Amino acid sequence: MGRLFGTDGVRGVANADLTAELALGLSVAAAHVLAEAGTFEGHRPTAVVGRDPRASGEFLEAAVVAGLASAGVDVLRVGVLPTPAVAHLTGSLGADLGVMLSASHNAMPDNGIKFFARGGHKLADELEDRIESVYRQHRTGEPWDRPTGAGVGRVRDYGRGAEDYVAHLLSVLPNRLDGLKVVLDEAHGAASHVSPEAFRRAGAEVVTIGADPDGLNINDGCGSTHLDLLKAAVVEHGADLGIAHDGDADRCLAVDHTGTEVDGDQILAVLALAMREAGTLRGDTVVATVMSNLGFTLAMEREGLRLVQTAVGDRYVLEEMKERGYALGGEQSGHVIVLDHATTGDGTLTGLLLAARVAATGRRLADLAGVMERLPQVLINVKDVDKSRVKTSAELGVAIADAERALGATGRVLLRPSGTEPLVRVMVEAADIEQARTVAGQLADAVKAALG
C-alpha cells in the first residue's frame, strides 16, 4: 500500500479505495495524534465535520463522526458546505480539528478526506505522516485506548454553518454588486445553496445552473471543468459575467459577457490590481505556480508587481504565502487564495471579489481581464519514459536550450515529471500557436529519444 495522503488529503474511489473502515480508522488516528501533539490539552476537544453532496459522503460522514466521537472528540456536524466554509468554521468556532469529505472536481464515484488543524489551516505534512503511521500501526491489531462513559464524544448538528459562512463572505466584500447580472454554475456541488445566497444578498441579480445536487450529478458536465453550459447561459441571459465552481467550491473560473473564459491567471491579475489599489497587496507581490501563463508573468512585470512562483499545487502556493506573509496567490485552474479572508482556496469568495471589481469600476470583465494577454500554450504528455532523468540528460538539455533560443523572450519551455505517472509533461508557450505546437512536438520527440 502506497502513501495514503496525497497533496490534497486522502482520495480514491468511495467504498473501494476509500472505505468506511479507512475513514473511521483515520479519524481515530487523527484524534490520537493531535492529542499527543498537545492540541487538546486542558479542554474537551471539538471537531467540525462537513461534506459535499456525493452519495458516498453520507456513509463516510457517519464513519468519520463515529471515529472521532469514539476517540472522545465532540463533533459539530455542519452538513453539505464548501471546503473553504468548513475551514472557516473550524477557525471561527474555535474547533481543534476540521474534516471535509470531498473529492473536489473529481467524478462522482470518488471521494476524499481532508483534515484541517485549529484555525482552519491544512495539517502540516509531519502530522499527516504521523496520522498515517498510527493508523497503520493499529490496523494490524494493536488496540486503541478508548474513553468510556462521559468520556466519549457527543455529536450534534450545527445548523448555522451556512449562515455564518455567508455572513463572513459579505463582511469582507469591498463593495456591493447592485446592478450586476451574474450566472452561477455550482457544479451540482457543495456551494449550490450558499454561493447564490451570498451573491443575491450582495445585490446581484442571480441566474443559477448546476445547482440541483442529487448526490449523483456532482461535476457531471458542468462546473469549472466543463464551461460550455455557463458560456451559453451568460450569453442567453445577457449577463455581465458568469462564475463556475467545482464540486467543493474551492475553485473559481469565470466567463465574460461575450461567453469567453477568464481563467485563474486572469482572475489573479484583476484581483492583484484591485488589492494594490486598496493597499492590501502586501509587498506588491503575487504568488503563483510555474504553470502560470507567460502572459501573466509579463503583465505583472508591466504593472510593476512582483511575481513569486512555486511548484505546481495550491499547497505550495499557500506555504509560500504563509511563510512570507503575502496576501494573494493562486493557480491557473482557479484556486485563488486571499489569505486575509480565507485559509484555503475559496471559489465563492473569489467570484464575489471579481464581481465586486466589475461593479466598482463600471468596466466589463473582458476589459479588466485584458490586463494580460494569454499566450498560446501547448501541453504534451510523453508517456513511458524515465522521468527521473529529466534534469540530468545532456541530450535533453541541448534540445531544451535549442527550443528556448527559437522562442526568444516571448516564449517559454517547461518540462515537468508527473508526480504519479511514468510520464513527462512538455509545456511550450509562444506568441504564435503554430510555433508553440512545432516546438512542443520537437521537444516531445527529444524526450522520447533521450528518456525512452
Q: Which residues are catalytic?
A: 104
Instruction: Answer yes or no: is 104 a known binding residue.
Output: yes
Which regions of 153-238 does DSSP assign to beta strands (E)? Answer: 155-157, 181-185, 205-209
CA distance 310 to 290: 6
Cross-strand pairs, 188:
none
Instruction: Answer yes or no: is 56 a known binding residue.
Output: no
| CA–CA distances in Å: residue 110 to residues 56, 104, 314 | 8, 9, 20
Instruction: Answer yes or no: is 248 a known binding residue.
Output: yes
φ, ψ (nearest 5 deg) of residue 177:
-110, 20
Concatenate the DSSP letters of all residues of 95-125 into one string: -SEEEEE--TTS-TTEEEEEEEETTSPBPPH
Q: Is 332 exposed, middle or buried (0-12, 13-18, 19+ CB in 10 A)?
A: buried
Q: Is 266 exposed, middle or buried (0-12, 13-18, 19+ CB in 10 A)?
A: buried
Quickly count: other Cβ atoms within 10 Å of residue 287's Cβ.
Answer: 26
10 in helix, strand or coil? Answer: strand
Q: How far apart are the first and last CA of the chain?
A: 28
- Kindly state the cell numbers that stand for 69: 466521537
Q: Is 126 exposed, middle or buried (0-12, 13-18, 19+ CB in 10 A)?
A: exposed
Instruction: Answer yes or no: is 110 a known binding residue.
Output: no
Positions at the binding site for Mg(2+)? 104, 246, 248, 250
Positions at the binding site? 104, 246, 248, 250
